[in-house]
C-alpha cells in the first residue's frame, strides 16, 4: 500500500465512522422509536437516510451540517414532503435574484 493510499484511507475514516453510526442508529434505535411512537417522519427520505446520503456525497462537515439543518426543520412549524439531497452544488446554489432554482 502506497503512502498516498494510506493518506486517502485516513481522510475517509471520519466519513466512514459517521455513516457506520447512522447505520447502527437505523438498525437498533430507529425500530424501537417507531415501535413506541409509530412512524413520525415528516420528510421523504427520512432524516437518517438523508444524513447518510449527504455525508457520503459531501463529507462529514458539509454533509453533517446539511443533516443537522434537515433535523432542525423536522418540527410542526417546519416543512414536510419529498426533500432529497441535492447532488450537485449548482442545483442547490441560489440564483442571482436570491431564489432557489
For helices 3-24 and 60-72, give the axis angle rounded to 10 degrees.
Answer: 20
**C-alpha cell read off for 71:** 433535523
Strands (E), the chain: 43-44, 81-82
pLDDT of residue 98: 40
Kindly tell me if the per-residue pLDDT of 8 is higher than 60. Answer: yes
Residue 55's pLDDT band, with cuts at 50, 70 and 90, is very high
Report yes or no: 52 and 22 within 8 Å, Cβ to Cβ: yes
Is the pTM here over 0.85, yes or no?
no
Q: What percent of the chain stands above pLDDT 90?
A: 58
Model confidence pLDDT, tens digit, residues 11-53: 889 999 999 999 999 999 999 988 998 888 889 999 999 999 9
Report yes or no: 51 and 70 within 8 Å, Cβ to Cβ: yes
Amino acid at each position: 500500500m502506497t503512502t498516498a493510499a494510506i493518506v486517502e484511507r485516513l481522510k475517509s475514516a471520519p466519513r466512514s465512522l459517521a455513516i457506520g453510526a447512522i447505520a447502527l442508529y437505523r438498525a437498533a434505535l430507529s425500530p424501537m422509536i417507531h415501535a413506541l411512537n409509530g412512524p413520525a417522519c415528516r420528510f421523504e427520505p427520512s432524516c437518517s437516510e438523508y444524513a447518510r446520503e449527504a455525508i457520503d456525497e459531501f463529507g462529514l462537515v458539509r454533509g453533517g451540517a446539511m443533516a443537522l439543518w434537515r433535523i432542525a426543520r423536522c418540527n410542526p412549524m417546519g416543512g414536510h414532503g419529498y426533500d432529497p439531497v441535492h447532488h450537485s452544488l449548482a442545483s442547490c446554489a441560489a440564483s442571482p435574484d436570491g431564489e432557489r432554482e
